[in-house]
C-alpha cells in the first residue's frame, strides 16, 4: 500500500499542530503520528477528504486482526478523532467523519505498586561501589520520594533544584510546571551525588544552571531508557516476582501517601494530574490492601 502526496503533507502539518499548538508530549506526538501514518497507508490512494464514518468503521474492523490492547485501540481512535478535528478546523473537510466514533470501554486495572519492604529490597540491592551505581541509587530514591515521572527526572537541570527548601521544579505533560517535595533521605543522596559522584562519572570543572543533573559516562543527559535498564538489572538479580518500572515507583509513592492519610487533592498536585479522576485510582489500591489485611487478620472474615 502507498500514500498520496497530499496525505504526506497533511501528516506533517498535523504533527506540527499537535506538537506546537496543542503542546502534546513528545511520546504522544510520536504515537499519534504513527497511528495516523498507519491509517493513511491503509487508505492508499484514497483522499482523506473522501473518508466517511463508514470508512473509519471499516478501518477499525481492519485493525482488530492485530489484537491490540484496549489501551492501544483507544489511543488509535483518539488519534483519528484528533486528526479529523484538525482537518475540520483547517477547513480541509466540510464534515468531520470521526464524530460519533467512540473508544472501547476499558476495564479498571489497578496500578501495580511495591510495599515498603519491597522498595527497600530494591534500593539496598543496588551496587553502589561505582559512581554509576550511586547515581542509580540516587535516582530511585528520588523517584520514590517525589513521585516524578522518569522523563521529568531525566530532564532535570541544576536550575530546577531548590534543595535548601527541599523542592524541585519539574515540567510534566504539556510542559506544565509544578513543584515536588524531596525527603531528607533522598536529599542527602542527591547532595552527595552532586558534590562528589557526578564529577567521577564525567569530569567537568563547573556545572551551569542549565546542565543536566543526571548524566552518563560521556557527559550527556541520562535518558529514561537507561534508568529502566538499571531497574531491570537489580530486579532480575533479587528475583522480585513483580514487573518493576520507574512508573511503579510513582504508583508506590501515591499509594503510600494515601494510606498514611494524605489529602487526595494534595496527591493530585504532587503527581501533576490534570484531573482528580486520574488520582482516585490510588484510593482503590488502598481499599484493596485494606480488604486483604482484614481478610487475613479477622477471625470471621471468611
Span 225-231, mean pLDDT?
Answer: 91
Provide the CB-side half-sphere exposure for 138 (13 A, CA).
24
| Cα dihedral value 147, 153, 157, 163, nearest 10 | 30
Is it the case that residue 294 has pLDDT exceeding 50?
Answer: no
Provide the CB-side half-sphere exposure for 6 (13 A, CA).
10
Please write down the HEC assignment for all residues of the chain: CCCCHHHHHHHHHHHHHHHHHCCCCHHHHHHHHHHHHHHHHHHCCCCHHHCCHHHHHHHHHHHHHHCCCHHHHHHHHHHHHHHHHHHHHCCCCCCCCCCCCCCCCCCCCCCCCCCHHHHHHHHHCCCCCCHHHHHHHHHHHHHHHHCCCHHHHHCCEHHHEEHHHCEEEEECHHHCEEEEECCHHHHHHHHHHHHHHHHHHCCCCCCCCCCECCECCCCCECCHHHHHHHHHHHHHHHCCCCCCCHHHHHHHHHHHHHHCCCCHHHHHHHHCCCCHHHHHHHHHHHHHHHHHHHHHHCCCCC
Is it the case that residue 62 has pLDDT exceeding 80?
Answer: yes
Is it the case that residue 268 has pLDDT exceeding 80?
Answer: yes
> Quick one: pLDDT at residue 299?
56
pLDDT band of residue 283 (cuts 50, 70, 90) is confident
**Mean pLDDT rounded to a whole number for the chain:** 88
Is it the case that residue 109 has pLDDT exceeding 80?
Answer: no
Report the alpha-carbon distance of residue 217 to residue 25 in Å, rounded: 27
**Catalytic site positions:** 149, 173, 247, 250, 273, 282
The percent of residues in the chain predicted with pLDDT above 90, rounded, is 62
> Quick one: pLDDT at residue 243?
84
- Choose the weakest-confidence range: 33-42, 140-149, 163-172, 242-251: 242-251
Is it the case that residue 293 has pLDDT exceeding 60?
Answer: no
> Quick one: pLDDT at residue 285?
58
Is it the case that residue 151 has pLDDT exceeding 50?
Answer: yes
Amino acid at each position: 500500500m502507498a500514500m498520496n502526496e497530499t496525505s504526506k503533507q497533511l501528516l506533517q502539518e498535523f504533527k506540527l499542530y499537535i506538537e506546537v499548538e496543542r503542546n502534546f508530549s513528545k511520546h504522544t506526538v510520536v504515537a499519534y503520528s504513527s497511528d495516523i501514518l498507519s491509517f493513511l497507508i491503509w487508505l492508499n490512494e484514497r483522499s482523506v477528504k473522501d473518508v466517511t464514518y463508514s470508512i473509519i468503521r471499516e478501518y477499525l474492523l481492519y485493525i482488530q486482526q492485530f489484537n491490540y490492547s484496549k489501551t492501544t485501540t483507544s489511543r488509535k481512535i483518539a488519534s483519528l478523532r484528533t486528526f479529523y478535528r484538525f482537518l475540520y478546523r483547517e477547513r480541509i473537510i466540510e464534515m468531520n467523519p470521526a464524530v460519533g466514533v467512540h473508544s472501547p470501554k476499558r476495564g479498571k486495572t489497578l496500578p501495580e505498586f511495591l510495599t515498603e519492604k519491597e522498595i527497600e529490597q530494591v534500593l539496598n540491592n543496588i551496587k553502589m561501589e561505582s559512581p554509576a551505581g550511586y547515581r542509580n541509587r540516587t535516582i530511585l530514591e528520588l523517584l520514590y520520594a517525589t513521585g516524578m515521572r522518569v522523563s521529568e527526572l531525566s530532564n532535570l537541570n541544576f536550575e530546577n533544584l531548590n534543595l535548601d527548601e527541599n523542592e524541585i521544579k519539574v515540567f510534566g505533560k504539556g510542559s506544565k510546571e509544578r513543584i515536588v517535595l524531596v525527603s531528607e533521605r533522598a536529599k542527602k543522596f542527591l547532595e552527595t551525588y552532586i558534590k562528589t559522584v557526578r564529577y567521577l562519572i564525567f569530569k567537568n570543572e563547573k556545572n551551569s544552571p542549565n546542565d543536566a543533573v543526571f548524566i552518563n559516562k560521556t557527559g550527556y543527559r541520562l535518558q529514561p531508557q537507561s534508568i529502566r535498564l538499571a531497574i531491570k538489572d537489580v530486579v532480575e538479580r533479587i528475583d522480585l516476582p513483580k514487573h518493576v518500572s520507574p512508573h511503579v515507583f510513582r504508583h508506590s509513592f501515591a499509594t503510600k501517601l494515601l494510606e498514611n492519610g494524605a489529602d487526595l487533592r494534595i496527591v493530585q498536585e504532587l503527581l501533576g494530574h490534570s484531573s482528580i479522576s486520574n488520582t482516585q485510582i490510588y484510593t482503590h489500591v488502598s481499599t484493596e490492601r485494606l480488604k486483604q489485611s482484614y481478610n487475613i487478620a479477622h477471625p470471621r472474615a471468611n
